[in-house]
Chain A
Amino acid sequence: MSSLWEYANPLKFMRTTDWLLPIVAVAAVVVTTTGLIWGFFFTPDDFRQGSTVKIVFLHVPAALMAINAWLMMLVASLVWLIRRHHVSALAARAAAPVGAVMTVIGLITGAVWGQPMWGTWWAWDPRLTSFLILFLFYLGYIAMWSAIDDPDTGADLTAVLCLVGSVFAVLSRYAANFWNQGLHQGASLSVAPGTRMDWAYKAPLYTCMVGFGLIFLALVLTGTRTEIRARRMKALAARERMA
């Protein structure tokens, strides 16, 4: 009986998130605040980049969640297409604006960081470019949802769009790499030998990443609950009209 798919039942989902959401929300605030305060005030300045480096505590988690949000939408879309669980379609819909905002945060913090480091707010570096492209994909996905009245048709069309979009997003990433080799430093958290980042930085950064993950989860749960309520309201109104 304890299958994961049970939570695809809207009623079960609502009941579970009734108690789960407050916990996640509080945890998100506590962990993120801790991580940010730790990162901003209790870490040493970088010997080369000075205190500007500390924007990493916003930049990296946001960028991470921007990509993970799209991955989550991809998985949820597949679940909808294959198993037709309404909650997963609605969760994909709820994740899109959050992912888009994370992408914007990643871009803005990147610009603020890039200005003192590279001497420019924006460079057509492959990483920056592919983030901007990712933002365009989010916009298209959100616009598609909002253009369709019928919720099942909308779910079907956006799910297909998400699948095809994922393939082209990956292609765009490689195209951007090919097109310009770039200024951006390599992945900040490399597990390769010769680690580039000290634990004094890594620990608060990991905390922030967990915090952003919790924020994302809390927002998606809230959004999904809103969507479920909106659908229920529509269904009830339709029932009134029929009766």
Chain B
Amino acid sequence: MIALLIRDMRLAFRAGGGFGLGLAFFLILAVLVPLGVGPERGTLALIAPGILWVGALLACLLSLDRIFALDYEDGSLDLLATAPVPLEGVVSIKALAHWLTTGVPLVLVSPVLGLLLNLPVPAYGWLLLSLTLGTPALSVIGTFGAALTVGLKRGGLLLSLLVLPLYIPTLVFGAEVVSRGAQGLAVGTPLALLAGITAGAVALLPFASAHVIRINLR
């Protein structure tokens, strides 16, 4: 299992692995929004929490189809499915690798982008916390979507269509934490709900993903 995690991380960081694409996308989005909306600092401060969360979500989406598609094409997925490791575990490790290579970097650069978008000072801590709690759910839900579409030739677009509606609760609660934090309001409830969704998704979705992979390999 650890070997699989190391392999996936190594593949992500080597040439053509796509590491950093999501980050670059996140940065471009944070530059484009003020260009589109105008430089007025009050407006930017108002929309910053939402933009940062939507940006993180779209950046996550970019790298989802790589989770299984490459392993499916070169036959590794067949071999992993017949190897002495539970497929549920394989799926969870793949989601973890996706989070480590996409989610964590997004969390780390988000304060810088918050600066660009004039995010109010009290919100930075909540931004980091909500993204740290929310991005694992994005990876796990995305892994489920990737597992659903693994056998399809042009699955990328379908993947977005399937996954984005599933991201809605996470987005709502995550952005709510940041915007409440920005206004100095209590954030306990949305934070708890966000953590609950993540915990539930991490605990249950790998079973659905593994089931779906078995169907797709058949």
A and B in contact, CB less than 8 Å? yes
Residue numbers of A with Cβ under 8 A of B are 133, 136-137, 139-140, 143-144, 147-148, 153, 156-157, 160-161, 163-165, 168, 171-172, 174-176, 178-179
Residues of A within 8 A of B144 (CB): 164
Q: Which of A153, A160, A165, A171 contacts B197 (CB 8 A)?
A: A171
Residues of B within 8 A of A178 (CB): 172-173, 176, 189-190, 193
Which residues of chain B in 162-199 are interfacial with respect to chain A, using CB atoms and an 8 Å cutoff?
162, 164-166, 168-169, 172-173, 176, 189-190, 193, 197
CB of A39, distance to nearest CB on chain B (Å): 34
**B158 pairs with A143, CB closer than 8 A:** yes
Majority SS of interface residues in chain A? helix
Q: Residue of B at shortest CB range from A176?
A: B172
Interface residues on B, range: 20 to 34
Q: Residue of B at shortest CB range from A161?
A: B148
**A156 pairs with B172, CB closer than 8 A:** no
Q: Which of B4-12, B89-97, B205-213 contacts A (4 or more CB under 8 A)?
A: B205-213
**B148 pairs with A157, CB closer than 8 A:** yes
Residue numbers of B with Cβ under 8 A of A are 144, 148-149, 151-152, 155, 158, 161-162, 164-166, 168-169, 172-173, 176, 189-190, 193, 197, 205, 208, 211-212, 215-216, 218
**A172 pairs with B168, CB closer than 8 A:** yes
**B162 pairs with A172, CB closer than 8 A:** no
Residues of B within 8 A of A164 (CB): 144, 166, 205, 208
A160 to B197, CA, bound (A): 19
Q: Which of B152, B172, B211, B212 contacts A147 (CB 8 A)?
A: B152
A144 to B215, CA, bound (A): 14
**A140 pairs with B161, CB closer than 8 A:** yes
**A160 pairs with B208, CB closer than 8 A:** yes
Residues of B within 8 A of A171 (CB): 168-169, 197
CB of B140, distance to nearest CB on chain A (Å): 11
7 nearest A-B pairs in the assembled complex, by CB-CB distance: A175-B172, A171-B169, A136-B165, A175-B169, A156-B215, A172-B168, A140-B162
CB of B175, distance to nearest CB on chain A (Å): 9
**A133 pairs with B168, CB closer than 8 A:** yes
Q: Tell whether A179 pairs with B172 under 8 Å between CB atoms, given A144-B158, A147-B155, A148-B152.
A: yes
**A139 pairs with B161, CB closer than 8 A:** yes
**A168 pairs with B216, CB closer than 8 A:** no
Q: Tell whether A160 pairs with B211 under 8 Å between CB atoms, given A140-B161, A178-B172.
A: yes
**A153 pairs with B216, CB closer than 8 A:** yes
Residues of B within 8 A of A136 (CB): 164-165
Which of B151, B168, B173, B190: most chain A Cβ within 10 A?
A: B168
**B176 pairs with A153, CB closer than 8 A:** no
Pairs across A and B, CB under 8 Å, 11 listed: A137-B165, A143-B162, A144-B158, A147-B152, A153-B218, A156-B215, A157-B215, A160-B211, A161-B148, A175-B193, A178-B189
Q: Which of B148, B152, B165 contacts A160 (CB 8 A)?
A: B148
